[in-house]
Amino acid sequence: MSRLTLDQAKIDRARDMARRIARQVYDDMHRFTTTSVERATLRLMGVDGIDDNQVPLPNRVVSHLQAQGLLQHGAALPVAAAMAERGLSAQQVALAVAAGELMLHNPAGTAGEGEARRMADALAARACERIAANRATRDAAISHCGEARTPWLYLIVATGNIYEDIVQARAAAEQGADVIAVIRSTGQSLLDYVPYGATTEGFGGTYATQENFRLMRAALDEVGHKIGRYIRLTNYCSGLCMPEIAAMGAMERLDMMLNDSMYGIIFRDINMQRTFVDQFFSRMVNAYAGIIINTGEDNYLTTADAYEAAHTVLASQLINEQFAYLSGLKPDQMGLGHAFEINPALENGFLWELAHAQLVRQVFPEACLKYMPPTKHMTGNIFKGHIQDALFNVTSVLTQQNIHLLGMMTEAIHTPLMQDRFLAIQNARYVFGNLRDLHEEIQFTPGGRIEQRAQQVLAETVSLLAHIEETGLPAAIAKGTFADISRTLTGGKGLDGVVPKAAGYFNPFPALMLP
């Protein structure tokens, strides 16, 4: 395979700095829990549904614990204590709390503490068994049906109506898509609760709910069995409910989740502390469930220049990788993101795109890389756009990317229609088929333009990571290091949901899910 000559010592140095940067953030944030982590814990323990006012029961219980000053100890123990004392299920405890019929308490230091811990551990073990069974089901389905060769064709559906999404997803799979991503309704990442049930009225996307996950999973299993190819399902594990969506996805056998460590901070103005705590727990759940995460570095290039800011993408990928390791994710579960976003008017732009993609491939040889199509410089000229997507497809297969989000020629005009997606699939399949083994037949010119560009980006990445290590990641984000957007440690949405842990804080899941 053709490879660039890169300085391995620089790569190792960059990775070591990223490891220390991520570890410092982890050590600072491990002292906190969040309302969303505790709601996710309750969901995994069996709490679901809504009250008479359509408020999710996990929210009701966590709000009750917060009002009683108990959330700092974790939600698991007070709920498990009530279960043991009253002979109730976790769901019945939640219903009683919502009805105002039950006041929870912390059993620590009482005779009931031991039984409450045993009850919580048993519920956590049962949840882990369910998730492990889903992982085994996925492996069996892939073994039985088979799967496509990479790059996998990743296609989005987003009608707002889950039943209409299912129709489009089936059609896409039959036309050649390997991964179906259901985009969330506009603004859902800023909701501090998860909607309940099947939904039909999303805006610019479809609400992420556990029932919607279940319905789409069943539909893709059915069409995958019909066409003889396992179809992966993706949703968006980000925003104020990041841990809860991870829990729901694990219980309903999703295969991929967009799950970045910094995307919510930078692009949704979600509080930094909230995001760093939530991303650790959500990635832990995804790791245990065998879910491939997708990171969001491609978004940096929609607000910053793709040529000038290329090193910020690689630096962020290295940091995301280290956060992922801390949560138990393996390299083949790391869908590190990047994008084909250089201005097409730039001379030799294709060479620079190739340099960036090959650099990422070599720095992360075992990762399940996710490559994103041109969007920023799509103008509405569908003929030029189709060519831009074709060049993107060439780069992807030539540099052996893993997850390939299909570019749409109508990207700058409207939400792509089914026929636009069909043309995108045809474009990619044509390029992939005709250039399948080209990477084995060509070599990069030693010292040539592509290699020099990759070496330049690597050197700039090392310099940037050294600066971030010196100042700390929160300070670097505050300076607008990534995507030219500045956020502060105490700014943004959701800070009121960050809770310092008490000395006796208890959560049964890390002991079971972390390696």
Question: How far is C-alpha 265 from the geometric centre of its chain's CA atoms?
Answer: 14
Of these residues, 178, 298, 389, 420, which one is catalytic? 298
Quote the CA–CA distance of 154 and 372 in Å, as a whole number: 10
CA distance 165 to 182: 8
**Contact residues for 213 (Cβ-Cβ < 8 A; gap 6+):** 233, 235, 248, 249, 252, 254
**Catalytic one of 207, 370, 420, 505:** 370
Instruction: Give catalytic status of residue 370 as yes or no.
Output: yes
* CA pair distance 48, 388, nearest whole angstrom: 46
Q: Is 148 exposed, middle or buried (0-12, 13-18, 19+ CB in 10 A)?
A: middle
Number of other CB atoms surrounding residue 383 within 10 Å: 8
**Cis peptide before 107, with omega less than 30 degrees from 0?**
no
Q: Is the CA virtual torsion 372, 411, 493, 184 positive or negative?
A: negative
Q: Say if residues 508 and 120 touch (Cβ distance below 8 Å).
A: yes
Q: Is-catalytic flag, 263?
A: yes
Cβ pair 230, 177 in contact under 8 A: no
Is 10 part of the annotated catalytic residue set?
no
Q: Structure tokens of 18?
A: 């990223």
Of 154, 207, 230, 263, the catalytic one is 263
Classify the phi-psi angles of 31: left when phi > 0, otherwise alpha if psi is within -120 to 50, otherwise beta.
alpha
* Residue 251 C-alpha from the chain's centroid: 16
Contact 274, 498 (CB under 8 A): yes
User: What's 87-130 look like in SS3?
Assistant: CCCHHHHHHHHHCCCCCCCCCCCCCCHHHHHHHHHHHHHHHHHH
Supply the residues annotated as catalytic.
263, 298, 370
